[in-house]
Amino acid sequence: MKKVPDWLNSSLWSSVASPSDRISPYDSKSTTAAAPHPATEPPAPVLPPSVVREEPPEPEPVSPSNDRGDDEKVRPERPSAEDISRQSLLLAELSKKVINIGELRRITSQGLPDGSGIRSAVWKLLLGYLPPDRGLWLSELAKKRLQYQNFKTELLMNPSEITRKMDKSTVSGNDEMKSTSGELSRSDLTGGEHPLSLGETSVWNKFFQETEIIEQIDRDVKRTHPDMHFFSGDSLDAKANQEALKTVLTIFAKLNPGIRYVQGMNEILAPLYYVFRNDPNEGYAASAEADSFFCFVELLSGFRDNFCKQLDNSVVGIRSTITRLSEMLKQHDEELWRHLEITTKVNPQFYAFRWITLLLTQEFNFADSLHIWDALLSDPEGPQETVLRVCCAMLILVRRRLLAGDFTSNLRLLQNYPSTNIAHLLYVANKLRSTP
Amino acid sequence: MVLVLALGDLHIPHRAADLPAKFKSMLVPGKIQHIICTGNLCIKEVRDYLRTLCPDLHVTQGEYDEDTRYPETKTLTIGQFKLGICHGHQVMPWGDLDSLAMLQRQLDVDILVTGHTHQFTAYKHEGGVVINPGSATGAHSSVTYDVNPSFVLMDIDGLRVVVYVYELIDGEVKVDKIDFKKSTAPPSH
């Protein structure tokens, strides 16, 4: 049985909010014969090149300042020196005429500072919505926003309006009710369209079929982040935001008949829209709906297959992805893998399905999930690959509890993952990159 | 965009067993917001069936309806339009436009829906529009022979109404439409 790597046994991996059993030093309880290694780097660190990475200092590093947004505990703002230098690096990079995306990825992978409004621009760059050349930003944005506007006008017409437009091209006998009396003339249908049409290409038929999807979208949007004032509640802002989410998802569903809308897409869209809507630049914030539509499409394109039921059992489907997570865990921590999957029979599908398909938006508080998304979006391997490593890290971080637990307690733990230090989590995830 | 189904004079079970199959396959729940029925269903099973298509059902009394509690006339407002319903056997001469126009002015409605003649008609006069959806089952009447089953579906969209006429002719469903607009000023009487 492969030994747990020594660096995993370090006391560094105890997180702030965890109960005592994780903080107790691993060393004395370690089953391995190796002497305890407090804070040394593992043999072959695969870090992005030229990173001057400081050691994660104490077991309780200061977390970057929290979003001054909505809910959650109000943590005192104590940006570390690291954060400040990172912020200045970012601002420097972003103010260049042509931004080096590789460099941006490198800096972002360590996390973006909250409250500085940088995230909105950075995410747009990382997702390829904004070109690296700043000079092209204005024209690109104008083009895309206009395109979205056209989508809305075209696709959100109801069949009455559509047939009326079709009518205008032919002469219509629009009888005014107040003119001469007599029998009203009957005219032929435009394009054979009538409301009860069951024809496949009928706009009416398509409309009624899509009504179901739109109702589903409406239900899901209303349930998105019910604890946040931004998304939920009776305020005008919340209602406007919900409308925006609904419209984006509806347009996506209409433009993609192959995949339509699947529950969970609302959770992928929510962080994008939130970040863009909170852009300090008012013009950008006003176009958050259009911008998040395109970024949503881009983000989803990497793992659409997860949402396609027919592909579930295929090589590209979600089941195969979950298997890869399992393999990854086995590779890095066979003891845990064995205990989890064989001994306590906790099938990864019970917990990892939601972790992976929703990109961890449901497992942490909103602010933390934004940090995780910084890492997911900036990693050159792409969000789908990176999330697997983060999931694996999540398992490893709670290994003591898992090893001590049975099916019920393990499942409960993994389906309600405890709040944890995200910087730690991402650090561990980074370590899990496949080494040659 | 509100869809209103108007039909009547089914005479089930006395003169017809059921709606034509081709009609039934088109009339599915979830599409129609209101149903207007001129009367002569005649039994409550028909009313129950219509309710499955749409919960908002309005029926007026036909002379052969077994349930005698339907009103003689009914009015309702849908969007910008006021609609009136009456079976029509009360209005003499049957099917006469001027007499129906009088009824329409009495009810003060833009669109009057009546039946009894089992013949589809759609007329316009200064007071408004009178529509007879015919008999949805093609039941015979004392006035008309050789009845084609027919019904009407109105799409009320703002100030505009598109009346889709569904008729079963020689076993095939033929659909055409009538388009009219209401002026914003109230009609003078």
pLDDT in tens, B114-149: 999 999 999 988 878 999 999 999 998 877 778 899
**Residue A291 and residue A349 in one domain:** no
Peptide bond into B42 cis (omega under 30): yes
pLDDT digits (tens, 9 = 90+) for A161-193: 888 888 776 544 454 444 567 888 888 888 888
pLDDT of residue B26: 93
Q: Residue A155: inside a domain, yes or no?
A: yes
Query: Do A275 and A313 have their domain in common?
Result: no
- Say which residue the tokens 């009810």 belong to: B107
Please report whether residue A193 resides in a domain: no
Whether the pLDDT of residue A435 is over 70: the answer is: no
Please indicate, yes or no, if residue A62 is contained in any of the structural domains: no
Q: Are residues A327 and A378 in the same domain?
A: yes
Task: Check if the beta carbon of residue A70 is closer than 8 Å to that of residue A370.
Answer: no
Residue A188 belongs to a domain: no
Of A301, A331, A352, the last residue of a domain is A301
Find out whether A380 and A366 touch, Cβ atoms under 8 Å. Answer: no
pLDDT tens digits, B65-96: 988 899 999 999 999 999 999 999 998 888 88
Q: What is the DSSP letter of A46?
A: -
Per-residue confidence band for B57, with pLDDT thresholds at 50, 70 and 90? very high
pLDDT of residue A5: 59
Write down which residue in A301, A332, A347 finishes a domain: A301
Kindly give, in sequence order, each residue whose CB lies less than 8 Å from that of residue A64, ignoring residues fewer than 6 positions away. A79, A80, A83, A111, A113, A114, A371, A423
Residues of chain A positioned with their CB less than 8 A from the CB of B181: 174-177
Confidence (pLDDT) at A129: 92
Same domain for A319 and A295, yes or no, is no
Do A108 and A232 have their domain in common? yes
pLDDT band at A66 (very low <50, low <70, confident <90, very high): very low
Same structural domain, A120 and A267? yes
Chain B residues contacting A via beta carbons under 8 Å: 1, 3, 25-27, 30-31, 97, 110, 121-126, 128-129, 153, 155, 157, 160, 162-166, 175-183, 187
Q: Which two tokens stand for residue A34?
A: 């190796």
Domains identified in chain A, total number:
2
Query: Do A147 and A240 have their domain in common?
Result: yes
Whole-number percent of chain A with pLDDT over 90: 38
Residue pLDDT, tens place only, A279-337:
888 888 999 999 999 999 999 887 777 777 777 777 778 888 899 999 999 999 899 99
Task: Determine whether the interchain pair B122/A196 forms a contact, defined as Cβ–Cβ distance below 8 Å.
Answer: no
The Cα–Cα gap between A424 and A421 comes to 5
User: Rounded to an integer, what distance in angstroms lies between the CA atom of residue A284 and that of residue A291?
Assistant: 8
CB of A187 within 8 Å of a chain B CB? The answer is: yes
Where a domain ends, among A281, A301, A321?
A301
Look at residue A199 and tell me whether its pLDDT is greater than 90: no
Per DSSP (E only), the strands in A299-359 are none
Q: At residue A70, does pLDDT exceed 50? A: no
Domain that holds residue A390: 309-434
Tokens of B151: 């019904």
CATH number for the domain harbouring residue A283: 1.10.8.270
pTM assigned to the model: 0.74
Residue A13: inside a domain: no
Distance, in angstroms, between A181 CA and closest chain B CA?
A: 4
Residue of B nearest to A187 (CA): B177
> Is residue A420 included in any domain, yes or no?
yes
- What does chain B look like in DSSP terms, one character per residue? -EEEEEE----BTTT-SSS-HHHHHH--TTS-SEEEE-S--BSHHHHHHHHHH-S-EEE---TT-S---S-SEEEEEETTEEEEEE-STTSSSTT-HHHHHHHHHHHT-SEEEE-SS-S-EEEEETTEEEEE---SS----SS-SSPPPEEEEEEEETTEEEEEEEEEETTEEEEEEEEEE--SSPPP-
Q: Do B31 and A195 touch (CB under 8 A)?
A: yes
Q: Is A409 domain-assigned?
A: yes
A244 with A361, same domain: the answer is no
Residue A6, domain member (yes or no): no
Kindly determine whether residue B1 and residue A159, on different chains, have CB atoms separated by under 8 Å: yes
Q: Are residues A252 and A392 in the same domain?
A: no
pLDDT of residue A11: 54
A58 vs A80, which has greater pLDDT? A80
| Nearest 10 degrees: Cα torsion A111, A112, A115, A120 | -130
**Of A203, A87, A190, A88, the residue nearest A154 (C-alpha):** A203
Average confidence (pLDDT) over A196-221: 90
